Amino acid sequence: MSQLQDNFGRRFHYLRMSVTDVCNFKCSYCLPDGYHPTGKQHFLSLSEIENLVSAFSQVGTQKIRITGGEPTLRKDFTDIVRIVSDNPSIHTVATTTNGYRLAQHAKEWFDAGLRRINVSVDSLDPKMFYQITGENKFDEVMRGIDAALTAGFERVKVNAVLLKGMNDKDLPRFLNWIKNTPIDLRFIELMETGLGRDYFQAHHLAGADIKAQLQSQGWSLDIADIDDGPAQNFSHPDYRGRIGLIMPYAKNFCATCNRLRVSAKGKLHLCLFTESGLELRDLLQHPDQQAELIERLHAQLAQKKETHYLHQGITGVTQHLASIGG
Ligand code: SAM
Ligand code: SF4
């Protein structure tokens, strides 16, 4: 079966699969008022997930990231990890989490086949962490990162959204932390969502400023790896950790796009920002629908646009990233 490819020659070997919209944090840039259910909470079942993973694995997907909302809120999260890791075509099973259950479950998830983990830590100052996430769980999350490193995860990635007037003074603290710890730190530029312009304009910090600061301190840009996607990665001879910058507003950001997204209710999103989701769920009900599902995936890929239109303030249908997994 042929690899998923769009009209601009981009190949898609990476799927971000959301398994829930629910979240227990209230990050000010994502769910400032916390999660409020809309409509029926009927997220993908284990058998639907199995059919989805199977179809994507037949069209070249090699890496699946389980995301949300907060994916680890699902009671069957370990079963989901196992379904993905049992598929021989999927080489990498990853998740992105706010880390609040990591200390207790890192070993269990590793044993089920999870190999990459991104933990969101927007500040190393517990007070600022609370101010940004609305949760007093800094120590718990940091214990989770230690537990992941002990459980066997080779490296842990830490995501931090850069916010003007909030965590923008934290760079020295982050750098100090990764001097002797094998953390891949990923600074994500704030993206405008349906939450509105005001928040964005008040807190958006250009990734290019951080890039300039890093380069002036001896960090150098690494040669891009197939797995990097749109991230720009930096390393420094005196540091065990590395730094990645995700700058969605940078020129050519979309040129290296290698990912597709499926929402927790089974809709395919060709981009985070430009269109409404395309229904897949009707074809996730039986294993004998695989050929039809694959045909639909190929047909939809032809619709993928060359770039997002964030620069024009067009944020698409994505009200917040918890609904589609970031
Ligand atoms: N709840 C999990 C977490 O926070 O890690 C997974 C889902 S969350 C939507 C995935 C990532 O998207 C997180 O690292 C989060 O910081 C990031 N994110 C959410 N809203 C964002 C925004 N408006 N701009 C940039 N990154 C955002
Ligand atoms: Fe929840 Fe993640 Fe959104 Fe924070 S960024 S509110 S942890 S989904």
Report the distance separating Cα 221 and Cα 214, nearest Å.
Answer: 10
User: CB of 4 closer than 6 A to ligand 1?
Assistant: no
**Dihedral, CA of residue 253, residue 258, residue 260 and residue 261, to nearest 10:** -60
Instruction: Kindly give the distance from the C-alpha atom of residue 24 to the centroid of ligand 2, in angstroms, as a whole number.
Output: 8
Closest CA to 53 of 93, 1, 21, 109: 93
225, pLDDT greater than 70: yes
In order of their start, the domains of the chain are 14-323 (3.20.20.70)
User: CB of 193 closer than 6 A to ligand 1?
Assistant: yes
Closest CA to 123 of 198, 201, 28: 28
Closest CA to 286 of 23, 50, 14, 40: 50
Taking each helix axis from N to C end, the angle separating 102-112 and 138-151, rounded to the nearest 10 degrees, works out to: 30
Single-letter amino acid, residue 96: T
Name the residue of 65, 72, 159 to mutate for ligand 1: max ligand atoms within 8 A of Cβ: 159
Mean pLDDT of 165-194: 92
Instruction: Kindly give the distance from the C-alpha atom of residue 26 to the centroid of ligand 2, in angstroms, as a whole number.
Output: 6
Cα 192 to chain centroid, rounded = 16
The pLDDT > 90 percentage for the chain reads 69
pLDDT in tens, 114-141: 999 999 999 999 999 999 999 999 999 9
Q: How many residues does the chain have?
A: 326
**286: buried, middle or exposed (CB in 10 Å: 19+, 13-18, 0-12)?**
exposed
Predicted TM-score (pTM) of the model is: 0.93
User: CB of 144 closer than 6 A to ligand 1?
Assistant: no
Distances (CA, A) of 149 to 80, 255, 290: 21, 33, 38
The vertex-47 CA angle with 46 and 53, nearest 5°, equals 90
The set of residues, in sequence order, having a beta carbon less than 8 Å from that of 24 and lying 6+ positions away, is 35, 70, 73, 98, 100, 135
Under the banding of pLDDT at 50, 70 and 90, the label for residue 274 is: low
Instruction: Kindly give the distance from the C-alpha atom of residue 158 to the centroid of ligand 2, in angstroms, as a whole number.
Output: 14
Name the residue of 25, 95, 96, 249 to mutate for ligand 1: max ligand atoms within 8 A of Cβ: 96
pLDDT in tens, 139-173: 999 999 999 999 999 889 999 999 999 999 999 99
Instruction: Kindly give the distance from the C-alpha atom of residue 287 to the centroid of ligand 2, in angstroms, as a whole number.
Output: 33
> Is the pLDDT higher at 10 or at 284?
284
DSSP 260-277: EEE-TTSEEESSSSSS--
pLDDT score, position 174: 95
**Dihedral, CA of residue 96, residue 17, residue 267 and residue 200, to nearest 10:** 20
pLDDT score, position 3: 86
Report the distance separating Cα 120 and Cα 139, nearest Å.
Answer: 13
Report the distance separating Cα 204 and Cα 247, nearest Å.
Answer: 11
User: CB of 28 closer than 6 A to ligand 1?
Assistant: no
